[in-house]
Amino acid sequence: MPRLPQTPQNPRRSAPKWVRRLIGPVLLFGLWLLFANTGVISERTLAPPGKVWAAFTDLVRTGELQHHIVVSLHRVVIGLVLGIAIGVVLALASGLFRIGEDLIDGPMQILRSMPVLALTGLLIVWAGIGESVKIWMVVLGVVFPVYINTFAAIRSVDSRLVESSATFGLGRVGLIRHVILPGALPGFFTGLRFAFAVSWLVLVVAEQTNATSGIGYLAMNAREFLRNDILVVTLFVYGALGFLSDALVRLLERSALTWRPSFIAA
Amino acid sequence: METQLHRSLIGDDDLNRLLDETDDAGAAVLPSTAAAPAVDAREVAKVFGNRRVLDGVNLSLRNGEFVAILGRSGTGKSTLLRILGGLDPAFTGTVDVPQRRAFVFQEPRLLPWKRVVDNVRVGLRGAAGKREASAALDEVGLHDHHRAWPKTLSGGEAQRVALARALVREPELLLLDEPFGALDALTRIKMHVLLQTLCRRHHPAVLLVTHDVDEAILLADRVVVLDEGHITLDVDVALASPRLRADHAFGELRSQLLAALGIDEIAEGDRA
């Protein structure tokens, strides 16, 4: 039988992974540069990279961009903190107590199928057009993913672990502390990642309705004045913030779930 | 009675505490006294739907006695064990068991988010608990794994942690629900030796549920066969140690037990 040649993989032949990962984005950027500068894409459709960079440096120099980012971050952080707190408290109440489930879970399951953004109008009627509407919209966006995932995680903790831990002398409080809450933590983190993503999504919309500051306002304003270049800048800012917040959750997850096989191996 | 023979090494204070406490697992479960047998189950019955899984089982164990329960699948072996362990309060009959019982299940059932040593000391208090947990881990041969995460252990190691977790409580009754069923044959042999060593040192009464006839004969002082909710055979294992599978008496007992389990032909084949 002919033997297949067993050539060892030459490690020098392929570039490091991060370099290979960069090829796609760099290519995309090159195409943008090419098409914008040769006029294939008109400036009114998509500003060329040079103009976007100029707009970016302009906004940074005047301090405008930093101001809007700080305002948006402020809203997102407050909304996230409140939303996560409310979501967790509700999930604990309905996950750990039968009466809690009866009272809370039904309404939550109904409300969660409602798109948060559809509530914008109602929230404006309730809370006016000030700062609080934007924060409450983020809160509403965040509460549901946190609640749904944490509640499901509490309920799906392995009952055999609960049973055996009870035979080893853990009471109800001990079971909650040593078995149920740690067991539900991975599910909570899944909810947290959704919450972070949703919070930016909601804020984009909230800031484009009756706002006078924030990245959403910057984008809306740019649209009014047909400032294509600034619009692209805001898109990049959103992208960067979304990326950073996802990295933050992953960092938290890594430090809280060190026992998971995927993290042990790493 | 011979109940004093294998009294485990517990102090008078412990005994008094045991006598004073009542069990909250079920009204019919009473704490046993030092003079009484370690386990005394009378007319235990359990119904699932319209099926009588246990139909009037009488079983008693002396202190320090090792009893294996054999039976086909679904004959209520595990149910009986769960009742004696206080995991199943819905039964009829009376059950008299020690206060200090510990379970080892077929799966290790370790908490994946606690390090090995913290799994062993779950439910124990303070620094003494930690010290005892470390000692128990050393005893089962896991000196190097105190700080390991459960998910990094092999099946045999995880089951040894489960054994340490049970023994650290100095149980008077050790309940083993097919603890070696999921292990490979070589690991199982090592675990048999370990279990025998630990039992000689700690002297708990042991109730082992198993499918493995050889395992029952190797380990137990007495083997009980459960069939259709009744105990159909109850034999003392009167074999000199070390017990060897190749011995004639071992083979005789194996055939007798297999016959009681309804597999005569295989028993004949074994003898040939």
Supply the mean pLDDT for chain A: 89
Contact indicator for B68, B211 with CB cutoff of 8 Å: no
Whether B204 is in a domain gets the answer yes
* Domain-located, residue B259: yes
Parent domain of B139: 12-271
**Within a domain: B3:** no
pLDDT at A46 > cutoff 90: no
> Among A195-209, B27-41, B142-156, which stretch is predicted with the lowest mean pLDDT?
B27-41
- Judged by CB atoms closer than 8 Å, whether chains meet at A169 and B169 is answered as yes
Whether B108 has its CB under 8 Å from any CB of chain A: the answer is no
Contact A168 B109 (CB under 8 A): no
Nearest by CB to A168, from B107, B122, B152: name it.
B122
Give percent of chain B with pLDDT exceeding 70.
84
Interface contact flag, B123 A259, Cβ < 8 Å? no
Assigned CATH class of A66-265: mainly alpha
Alpha-carbon dihedral sign for residues A103, A108, A110, A111: positive
Min mean pLDDT across A115-124, A215-224, A227-236, B76-85 is at A115-124
Residue B91 has pLDDT above 50, yes or no: yes
Range with the poorest average pLDDT among A14-23, A46-55, B94-103, B169-178: A14-23
Instruction: Provide the pairing of β-strand B51-61 with B39-48.
Output: antiparallel
CATH of the domain at B39: 3.40.50.300
Q: How far apart are CA B10 and CA B185, in angstroms?
A: 35
Q: What pLDDT, in 10s, does the model give residues B104-138?
A: 999 999 999 999 999 999 988 878 888 999 999 99
Q: What pLDDT, in 10s, does the model give residues A230-246?
A: 999 999 999 999 999 99
| pLDDT class of A265 with cuts at 50, 70, 90 | low
pLDDT confidence bin for B238, thresholds 50/70/90: confident
- Rounded to 10°, the helix A181-207/A131-155 angle is 150
Residue B60, pLDDT score:
92
Which residues in chain B have their CB less than 8 angstroms from residue A253's CB? none
By C-alpha distance, which of B219, B164, B214 is closest to B185?
A: B214
> pLDDT band at B68, cuts 50/70/90?
very high
Tell me if residue B91 falls in helix, strand or coil. coil
Q: Is B100 on the interface with A (CB under 8 A)?
A: no
pLDDT attached to residue B22: 38
Tell whether B263 is covered by a domain. yes
Residue in chain B lying closest to A163 (CA): B87
Find the CB nearest A161 among B109, B124, B149. Answer: B109
Cα(B105)–Cα(B78) distance, integer angstroms: 10
What is the rounded distance in angstroms from the CA atom of residue A214 to the CA atom of residue A65? Answer: 9
Q: Name which of A164, A174, A182 is nearest B113 (Cβ-Cβ).
A: A182
How big, in percent rounded to 5, are the helix, strand and coil portions of chain B?
Answer: 35, 25, 40
Question: How many CA atoms lie less than 13 Å away from B262 in the CB half-sphere?
Answer: 8
Q: Which of A163, A167, A262 to mutate to test the interface with B (most CBs of B within 10 A)?
A: A167
Q: What is the pLDDT of residue A266?
A: 47
* Contact residues of A toward B, CB < 8 A: 160-161, 163-165, 167-170, 174, 178-179, 182-183, 185, 257-261, 264
| Average pLDDT score over chain B | 83
Q: Quick one: pLDDT at residue A204?
A: 87
Max CA pair span of chain A: 81
Dist. CA B90–CA B85, nearest whole Å: 12
Nearest CB among A170, A258, A260 relative to B122 is that of A170
In a domain? residue B6: no
* φ, ψ of residue B101 in degrees (nearest 5): -120, 150
Evaluate if residue B30 carries a pLDDT over 70.
no
| Residues A142-193 pLDDT 10s | 999 999 999 999 999 999 999 999 999 898 999 999 999 999 999 999 999 9
In this predicted structure, the answer to whether residue A54 has a pLDDT above a threshold of 60 is yes
Q: How confident is the model at residue B20 (pLDDT cuts 50, 70, 90)?
A: very low
B5 lies in some domain: no
Per-residue confidence at A5, pLDDT binned at 50, 70, 90?
low
How many folded domains does chain B comprise? Answer: 1
Which chain B residue lies closest to A160 (C-alpha atoms)? B109
| pLDDT of res. A13 | 66
Query: Which residue, B20, B17, B176, is CA-closest to B84?
Result: B176
- Picking from A7-16, A174-183, B66-75, B245-254, which range would have the lowest pLDDT averaged per residue? A7-16
Token reading at A121 = 């109008």
pLDDT of the residue at B163: 94
Phi–psi pair at B76, nearest 5 degrees: 90, 10
What is the model's pLDDT at position A3?
67
Report CB contact under 8 Å: B149, A264.
yes
Per CB-CB distance under 8 Å, the chain B contacts of A168 are 102, 122-123, 165, 169
- Among chain B residues, CA nearest to A172: B123
Task: Answer for the pair B209, B178: CB distance below 8 angstroms, yes or no.
Answer: yes
Q: Count the neighbouring beta carbons within 10 Å of the beta carbon of residue A161.
A: 19
Please tell me whether the interface predicted TM-score (ipTM) of this complex is above 0.90: no
Among B103, B124, B152, the residue with its CB nearest the CB of A167 is B103
Kindly state whether residue B195 falls inside one of the protein's structural domains.
Answer: yes
Answer whether residue B232 is part of any domain. yes
B112 shares contact with chain A (CB less than 8 Å):
yes
Taking a C-beta distance cutoff of 8 angstroms, is the pair B39, B23 a contact?
no
Query: Is B85 in Cβ contact with A170 (below 8 Å)?
Result: no
CB neighbourhood size of B150 (10 A): 22
Residue B26 pLDDT > 70: no
Would you state the pLDDT for residue B272?
54
User: Do residues A35 and A42 make contact, with C-beta atoms less than 8 angstroms apart?
Assistant: no
Instruction: Give the number of other CB atoms < 10 A from CB of residue A43.
Output: 12
Of residues B18 and A92, which shows the higher confidence score? A92
Q: Which among B87, B149, B150 has CB closest to A167?
A: B87
Q: Specify whether the CB–CB gap between B55 and B30 falls below 8 A.
A: no
